Chains A and B, each alone.
Chain A
Amino acid sequence: MERSISPDSILMLKTAQAGGVTTVWDRYEAQLPQCGFGETGLCCRHCLQGPCRIDPFGATGPKYGICGASADVIVARGLARSIAGGTSSHSAHAKHLAHTLLKFSRDEAPDYGIKDQAKFYAVLDRVGIQRDGKSDQELAGDLARLALDEFSEREAPPVWLKTTITPARMQKFEQLGLVPPGLDSAVAEVMHRTTNGVDADAVNILLGGIKCAVGDYTGMYLGTDLSDILFGTPTPVMASANLGTLKADAVNVAVHGHNPVLSEVILAQAEALRAEAVAAGAPQGINLVGICCTGLEVMMRHGIPSATNSLSQELAILTGALDAAVVDYQCIMPSLPTVASQYHTQIITTMPIAKITGATHIEFDEKQAGEKARQILRLAIEAFKKRDPAKVNIPPVTNPAMAGMSAETIVKVLALVNPDDPLKPLIDNMVNGNILGVCLFAGCNDVKITQDKNFVALVKALVAENVLILCTGCAAGSFARHGLLTSAATEKYAGAGLKAVLTALGQAAGLGAPLPMALHTGSCVDNTRAASIATAIANKLGVDVSQLPVVATAPEAAMEKAVSIGTWAVAMGLPTHVGVVPPVTGSPLVVQVLTQTAKDLLGGYFIVEPDPQAAAAKLVAALKERRAGLGI
């Protein structure tokens, strides 16, 4: 199997091979064949009597775990815990932002502030905090405390859930018992009900997992709100992508991980240390690039280039020109220091809960954020002095990419066409068939799939069918790498109806060209931006999201976070495609619930299809079914 279709990745993989550097692809091959019990979800390690395995053939081997759990129960428990893992990741991210906001309100975070007052007030109004007579700083404290309270065991439904979904969806969640009492308690409840001797009904366990995923949605929505308040709501910005954004004559620093709390401050200090970098022999100063979602956070707010994404993170080091990678948490390969040990690159961890043996740890805290950022950047400048010019091998590949298409921005662009009723142009074009429907591309790259192959093939097939594309996280990173976040891609690949709409919007926005083929809606925590647009359209039409021609896909999903996002997309009513077979095939019942029963209960359901062309056909069919349901 080819490892990647991304030209910069392909070049760096040759460098890795020539230099004998082990990467994620080699480690994957070393794992083959992978254990069939794990692949099918038929392995349970939840108690010390195990591990237990169920015979996937149902032949002579065991049909039950030691405790008596069936294949269905074991598979459902495993999936629910995976959702809890994803939910806890997003919740930790959101809590981090809430704590930063709280510290700002207490004068304990001098490098932070309210960047977007309009959004701040809009969120305060939405969550029901009275503004009269209070300063922004006091209100920030009120908002942060309300946000932190979302995570505890509450008596009322989470505010960020109730105020952001359609009334019909809220009613459905209440009927089915899918409203989590709090976001952390949702995770704790999954851990409890999936431990030995608690929930032993596969369908009930899956409902528990979906409840947790509803908590995941809530935490993500909250996280995006607070990011926008602290760092600004993204507006359209031209940036660039690929490993060619690293510069031979600059100190190259990659911000890698997920949270803008760190990357924003690094960015703010990079210019201040420019003279030091120049003095060290880098005429272009400090060149900040992004890896993964923290990179996308600064891309969509400041146009910082996206060098690469999670799966190919090691390849940035192999350019020989990366002087430091500053990381926070999530999707950071523990292998980075090992790869870096063959180069001069400093790997700098910053979070007390995310250290890596072999990396340099500089603990970040909001009280002295600026000072810590300068310390980190000076380490990068020191590393630059040790850079071996003979090893510098930057792939000559860059692509332009437009980012910053937040929900607010999309509405503003639509308002240029119809100021009184911004959603109307979008709805009209869906009704008249210029736009068949909307697809949200999310999720990761997965080493099991040739990097970007599914993303690129699926998106090209969908835009040809006039599907409007939103993208986040590694999907956005993938499209950026292939020049698909551009007007040129719209001209080349979009169907006639979609092209007409994107061209009209691009003209209205003063671009003089169509909007990009895919709208970069944010980092992976920002998937709720897409959900908020769907909710606004549903509310305007007086229907539920589950009736709209809107689908989601994670064609190269890898992480637990993708499992929880996919599950809440289903809970919100979206047909949701996954291009990697998840470890659930050991239970026909679980597969049936996820792909069929969910449709009856929630409107949303999973479509598992590894082949991108077949997936495109299934997603188009799902959109057409929705259109038929609405009579359009």
Chain B
Amino acid sequence: MKRLFVRPELCTGCKTCELACAVEHSRSKNLLGAMLESPPPHTRLYVEANLTSHFEIFKMPMTCRHCDPAPCIAACVPQVMYRTADGVVTNVGGKHTCIACGMCVMMCPFGMIARAPAPDGKIMALKCDLCPERDTPACADACPTGAILYLEGDEFAHQSRARASAILSQAKSLREATMTQTLEE
């Protein structure tokens, strides 16, 4: 299955992903309409920032990892949270209804679940559903810098390997140049 991956070095912290996520999970599905809704739509991913030096801030959109096994599923006493056939961890569309107990909120190691009103007003556990009505989740579509990617797991790793090997290929030519010099000496 495809999953959300993040390249934090590309994140500018603009939070466009948060807006797009909230709009996608609104009733009207457009920004102007969503702004007028009550309750307001809620994002399902969060841009977090940490000061790493006096002038550098590490920014990263935090997304649900759809873990396997998933602590939120294990913690869901009424058995609302479940895994779909596509591997999406969700509490929507299953056999039972969320009672907003918040156990999943407490168990998620990444803090990716919020207890808040859904678009219909019901308080429940709100989390990423990978935008079932879209080919690509709204956050990945919206990211202006390509920091959020929606890829098969091995494709992301492949891209990382390609970048790493490109760096190493430069090292190789440098090394060869150095070796030649050494031999000439």
Binding site for B on A (CB under 8 A): 31, 33, 35-37, 39-40, 53, 56-61, 581, 585-586
Q: What separation, in Å, do the CA atoms of A585 and B42 have in the docked complex? A: 19
Q: How far does the alpha carbon of A58 sit from the alpha carbon of B35 in the complex, in Å?
A: 8
Number of A-B contacts (CB under 8 A): 42
- Whole-angstrom distance between the alpha carbons of A37 and B13 in the complex? 12
The answer on a CB contact under 8 Å between B41 and A57 is yes
- The answer to whether residues A57 and B16 also contact, given A33-B141, A35-B144 and a CB cut-off of 8 A, is no
A190 and B133 CA atoms in complex are apart in Å by 46
- Pair B20/A33 contact, Cβ less than 8 Å: yes
Residue of A nearest to B19 (CB): A36
| B contact residues vs A (CB 8 Å cutoff) | 14-16, 18-20, 22-23, 31-32, 34-35, 39-42, 141-142, 144
Instruction: Report whether A57 and B34 are in contact in the complex, using a CB–CB cutoff of 8 Å.
Output: yes
Let me know if A40 and B31 touch, CB within 8 A.
yes
- Establish whether residues A56 and B42, one from each chain, have CB atoms under 8 Å apart when the complex forms: no
Tell me the complex Cα distance, A172–B89, Å: 63
User: In the complex, A599 Cα to B37 Cα: how many Å?
Assistant: 27
Chain B residues contacting A40 (CB-CB under 8 Å) are: 31, 35
Given contacts A36-B20, A59-B39, 17 further A-B contacts (CB under 8 A): A33-B16, A33-B20, A33-B141, A35-B16, A36-B23, A39-B31, A40-B35, A56-B31, A57-B22, A57-B34, A57-B42, A58-B40, A59-B22, A59-B40, A581-B32, A585-B32, A585-B35
Please, which residue of chain A has its CB at the minimum distance from the CB of B143? Answer: A33
For B22, the chain A residues whose CB sits under 8 A away are 57, 59
The SS class assigned to the A binding surface is loop
What CA separation (Å) do A68 and B40 show in the bound complex?
Answer: 22
Return B131 CB to nearest CB of chain A, in Å: 14
Closest to B37 in A: A57
Residues of chain A with a CB closer than 8 A to B142's CB: 33
Chain A residues contacting B42 (CB-CB under 8 Å) are 57, 59-60
Cα of A581 to Cα of B31 in the assembled complex, Å? 12
Q: Which A residues are CB-close (under 8 A) to B41?
A: 57, 59
Would you mind naming 19 contact pairs between A and B with Cβ atoms under 8 Å apart? A31-B144, A33-B20, A33-B144, A35-B14, A36-B16, A36-B19, A37-B19, A40-B31, A53-B15, A56-B19, A56-B31, A57-B40, A57-B41, A57-B42, A58-B40, A59-B40, A59-B41, A60-B42, A61-B18
A60 vs B15: C-alpha distance when bound (angstroms): 13
User: Which residue, B19, B39, B42, has most C-beta atoms of chain A within 10 A?
Assistant: B19
Closest residue of chain B to A31 (Cβ to Cβ) is: B144
The docked-state distance in angstroms from the alpha carbon of A585 to that of B32 is 8
A59 cross-chain contacts in B, Cβ below 8 A:
22, 39-42
